[in-house]
Amino acid sequence: MPENNENIIGTEMGVLRNHPSKLLEESWAMLAFFAVTIFNNYRNISKNDEMINGKAPIIVFAVIAICLFYLLLRFFAWRKTTISIKDGLLIYKVDTINKKEHDISISTISNVNLVQNIFEMLIGTYKVKIDTNSLSTASKTDISIVLGKKEAYEFKQNIIAVQRGDSVSFAHGDNATGEKNYFSRPVVSEMEGIEEDRIVRLTSSQSVMAGIMEIPFISFIILIAAVVVPIFIGIGASNNNNTAESVGIYAILTSAFAIIGMVWGIAKNIFKYFNFTVGRDEDRVVLSYGLFTKKEYAIPVDKINGMIYETSFIGNIFKYTDVRILNVGGEAEEAFGQIMIPPVKDKSLQQYMDIILPEAKLEVKSSAGMPKKFFIYRIVKNLIIWNMITVIASKIITAEASDYWWIPVLAGAFITMLVFIYDIISGKNAMLGLTDSYIVIKNGGFTIKVSYFPSEKIQYLNRNTSPVERLLGVSRLNMSILSGGDNDQNSLSVDSAIFDKIEAVYKATY
Amino acid sequence: MYKKINPKAKWLMLLFEVIVAIITTIIIVVVFKLFLTNLKSPIVRYLCIAAIVLTWGYALISPFVRSVWYRYAFNKDEIRKREGFLTVVETIVPIERLQKLSLETGLFDRMFGLTRVKLTTAGGDVDIRYLEIEKAEAIAESLKNKINKYARNDSVEANKLTENTTSKNDINESPEDDNHAGE
């Protein structure tokens, strides 16, 4: 409860406006263009007398006029944009010539997140990201709110208060509608309100390891290709001294770029997981992380539509796994799962999950894998297909340029080998199972994913059976869940016997 | 339990697939003539011919197979559908998960007196196609009543929740049991 009780009067919040820095952020490109245009034309005119009598001044004047007009429009849009809470609705209104009003029922808001990029960190503002429960309204509710630190936290607290049925604190009398800030609740980061034994904080070394362990398998392939292919090209060109030198330089540059690219990818991940903290606050999971882009997310536990335990290729070797959650909303890069726990040692992961989601009982009670006959059929089928593709590509390229016949052969052999290894690993990993209330899908070859979906969150189920699968007694499961990115979740082909149990568990939810 | 679709559906499917086959053939021929004629290897020509033959084979055979496979069922709590050509897909949609229902009749559907019922859930759409218009309207009316009933039950439960003060901690409980303490 807020300390200043006499300020609580009901469910109405006065009017807020976006922080003025939003105006700068939206207009910086035009301001930059404006500055460059003035500077360039001023230099040209002052150097060249003929230009003063020519068309240059008119063009400069026209550009300046357009820039100023644009900036004036942006200023009016900023001035006329208001944000308020009234009667359980979040009202975002733009009162310019093109009037727009978004009325969002607060009960449909699944997340209220605070994000800061470097510019916002410097000036002390936050972007407030509102995510709703529905995909169909998601694009319409991508409103952008930028507030100062105090307003941002209090705004978020008031949204959460309305969701919980609490009153919104609102200063009456002289501090009524029109004032920017009149909340009486103390400004507190959500993490500060959580007990220490319900918080998981990663150390610096854990953040570094998380960044390294998240390198995708494809990055290794690209690195290998960037080093190996130039070597082969160099060998092919070694007879020609002139070509050999330029190919040698090309090979070194390509390899260097590939290595730099991978190092930069690791660095970005380490910055992303800087100061990673996750906590459990009653019915919400609260996250805070990032160095150059700082994010603070709160996700209601009942809005979690799935959990994915993901182990990357390198994570498999060193036993590191991360946990992502699926819900509606989040940033674009989190469309396929909001990170809840970054890659950590498997033995630490369970401890952390017991703190953050103790109620999630994930012990698999029954499961089915890929039967041996189908496992062999799948490998043989893919070997035949990839060999055919290699032969056809080789024939086409040989007919056009016989000296380069080895390129499709080498590429085809490499891809076929990768597919063969992937089929073996993924076939062994394929699993479809059940816990007390989750449907579990395990799949993946180089990156392994174990996904848990609460059966009451599944929107509909598909069972897919091809002619060969019918013959061999297997099927594939496809489910639709509510997620910001990947709604469709698929299993590999597994023994059909599990499907009756899955159907029974699913039917029990409606 | 499963019902068959109207026999006219196979002719609708055939008409649609033939149109698609014509367009696909034109695209393959144009791409070949514009970009691939100068290739020395005859394999590309054979591949294009094979693609055209497969396209027409699918267009002329699949409607008759698909119309046999395509079944639907509207039960008390769920809607089921089965469809496919070589790969058969069985779909289960709980009525409780439905958010929206619509009847859509395209140009070709209208020619054969058929329509489709589009079921919208929070995770995506499921279509029940090739239904006679009167039957589809009766199904839609019945489903709308059920959807409204579930929606009313949800709002009654939601109102009960705001009066209670117990807090929810277990992710395994259904959303109707959600409660937030207000202290």
Domain boundaries along the sequence of chain A? 5-188, 197-356, 372-427
Q: Which of B61, B65, B180, B183 to mutate to test the interface with A (most CBs of A within 10 A)?
A: B180
Q: To the nearest whole percent, how much of chain B has pLDDT over 90? A: 51
pLDDT at A8: 35
Q: What is the nearest CA distance from A410 to chain B, expressed in angstroms? A: 20
A107 DSSP β-pair partners:
none
Contact at 8 Å (CB) between A227 and A255? yes
pLDDT at A248: 72
Q: What is the mean pLDDT of chain B?
A: 83
Q: Which of A323, A361, A460 to mutate to test the interface with B (most CBs of B within 10 A)?
A: A460
At A133, give phi and psi (nearest 5°).
-80, -15
CA gap A177, A170 in Å, rounded: 9
Contact B87 A466 (CB under 8 A): yes
pLDDT at B157: 60
Q: How far is CA A484 from the centre of its chain?
A: 9
Question: Is residue B22 domain-resident?
Answer: yes
> Which of residues B82 and A167 earns the better pLDDT score?
B82
Question: Is residue B38 domain-resident?
Answer: yes
> Which of residues B62 and A98 earns the better pLDDT score?
B62
| Contact residues on chain B for A482, CB-CB shorter than 8 A | 122-123
Contact at 8 Å (CB) between A113 and A145? no
CA gap A418, A121 in Å, rounded: 44
Contact at 8 Å (CB) between A200 and A277? yes
Place A68 in a pLDDT band, splitting at 50, 70 and 90: confident
Contact B93 A460 (CB under 8 A): yes
pLDDT at A491: 87
pLDDT at B183: 28
Place A404 in a pLDDT band, splitting at 50, 70 and 90: confident
With H, G, I as helix, E, B as strand and everything else as coil, classify residue A416.
Answer: helix
| Contact residues on chain B for A282, CB-CB shorter than 8 A | 167, 169, 181
pLDDT at A263: 87
pLDDT at B169: 35
pLDDT at B115: 92
Contact B172 A165 (CB under 8 A): no
CA gap A159, A166 in Å, rounded: 10
Per residue in A182-228, pLDDT (tens digit) is: 344 455 567 777 888 889 999 999 999 999 998 888 888 888 877 77
Residue (of B79, B66, B47) closest to B130 by Cα position: B66
Contact B89 A480 (CB under 8 A): no
Contact B123 A462 (CB under 8 A): no
| Contact residues on chain B for A360, CB-CB shorter than 8 A | 171
> Which of residues B110 and A110 earns the better pLDDT score?
B110
Per residue in A77-121, pLDDT (tens digit) is: 888 888 888 777 788 888 877 777 777 777 777 777 888 888 888
pLDDT at B122: 82
Worst-scoring range by mean pLDDT, A365-369, B60-64, B99-103?
B99-103
| Contact residues on chain A for B121, CB-CB shorter than 8 A | 459-460, 480
Residue A179 has pLDDT above 70, yes or no: no
pLDDT at A473: 93
Query: What's at B116, amino acid-wise?
Result: R
Contact at 8 Å (CB) between A328 and A482? yes
Contact at 8 Å (CB) between A23 and A125? no
CA gap A491, A477 in Å, rounded: 5
Residue B70 has pLDDT above 90, yes or no: yes
Using the CB atoms, write b or e for A364-389: b if 16+ within 10 Å. Answer: eeebbbbbeebbebbbeeeeeebeee
pLDDT at B107: 87
Taking the model in full, what pTM does it have? Answer: 0.78
Contact B171 A487 (CB under 8 A): no
| Contact residues on chain A for B89, CB-CB shorter than 8 A | 462-464, 478
Q: How many domains does chain B have?
A: 1
Question: Is residue B14 domain-resident?
Answer: yes
Q: How far is CA A368 from the centre of its chain?
A: 31
Structural domain that includes position B13 = 3-69
Place A296 in a pLDDT band, splitting at 50, 70 and 90: confident
Contact at 8 Å (CB) between A89 and A105? yes
Q: What is the mean pLDDT of chain A?
A: 81
CA gap B157, B148 in Å, rounded: 14
Q: To the nearest whole percent, how much of chain B has pLDDT over 70? A: 83
ipTM over 0.85: no
pLDDT at A336: 64
Place A59 in a pLDDT band, splitting at 50, 70 and 90: confident
pLDDT at A318: 93
Place A22 in a pLDDT band, splitting at 50, 70 and 90: confident
Residues 87-146 of B with CB under 8 A from A: 87-97, 99, 120-124, 126
A467 CB-side CA count, 13 A? 3
Place B174 in a pLDDT band, splitting at 50, 70 and 90: very low
Per residue in A466-476, pLDDT (tens digit) is: 999 999 999 99
Residue (of B78, B51, B56, B48) closest to B146 by Cα position: B78
Place B68 in a pLDDT band, splitting at 50, 70 and 90: very high
Residue B141 has pLDDT above 90, yes or no: no
Q: How far is CA A16 from the centre of its chain?
A: 29
With H, G, I as helix, E, B as strand and everything else as coil, classify residue A425.
Answer: helix
CA gap A114, B136 in Å, rounded: 47
pLDDT at A396: 87
pLDDT at A151: 83
Place A401 in a pLDDT band, splitting at 50, 70 and 90: confident
Contact A506 B92 (CB under 8 A): yes
Contact B175 A302 (CB under 8 A): yes
Worst-scoring range by mean pLDDT, A25-29, A158-162, A165-169?
A165-169
Phi-psi region of A88 (alpha: psi -120 to 50; beta: other; left: phi over 0): left
* DSSP conformational letter for A179: B
CA gap A358, B107 in Å, rounded: 54
Residue with tokens 């009003």: A101
Residue A432 has pLDDT above 70, yes or no: yes
| Contact residues on chain B for A137, CB-CB shorter than 8 A | none
pLDDT at A230: 72
Worst-scoring range by mean pLDDT, A154-163, A237-246, B143-152?
A237-246
Handedness of CA B174, B179, B180, B181 (dihedral sign): negative
Contact at 8 Å (CB) between A451 and A336? no
Residue A382 has pLDDT above 70, yes or no: yes
Nearest CA in chain A to B88: A465
Contact at 8 Å (CB) between A113 and A286? no
pLDDT at B61: 96
Worst-scoring range by mean pLDDT, A79-88, A441-450, B135-144?
A79-88
pLDDT at A408: 85
Per residue in B153-170, pLDDT (tens digit) is: 666 665 555 454 333 333
CA gap A6, A19 in Å, rounded: 28
